[in-house]
Amino acid sequence: MENTMISQRIRHYRRQAKLSQEDLAAKVDVSETYIRKLESGDRFPSLDMVLKLPRALSTTPDHLLLWSSVLSQNKSAGVLELLSDCTPTEFIILYENMVTRKKLLREHVK
């Protein structure tokens, strides 16, 4: 795993939780300098931090370590929300449209 990717995720979740680096440091019982080094990619979080940080940031370890799962969940949730109030006919039309567009994308976008 690349340090810079994890550092970006830590920063993202900290900001989302509206915490300063100092606030997060206090929540996980480390120095603000340590949080700053994690977010800059100068340090890699210890196993202990991989368990503490998600709790402090209201997320899960897999979201902190595996950003793609977060993006997938956000996209899926958006699609489900769009489809949630469709009539059965609308749903079928939209589903068939997505299947067709996905096929076209895979054929023409490389």
Taking the CA atoms of the chain, what radius of gyration do you get in angstroms? Answer: 19
Residue with tokens 């209201």: 58
Residue 24, pLDDT score: 97
Residue 68, pLDDT score: 53
φ and ψ at residue 11, rounded to 5 degrees: -60, -45
| Token pair of 29 as six digits | 């019982």
Alpha carbons 62 and 50: distance in angstroms, whole number? 9
Q: Say what the pTM is.
A: 0.59
Residue 70, pLDDT score: 53
Amino acid occupying residue 23: D
Residue 35, pLDDT score: 96
**pLDDT tens digits for 31-89?**
999 999 999 989 888 888 888 999 999 988 877 777 655 555 566 677 777 778 888 88
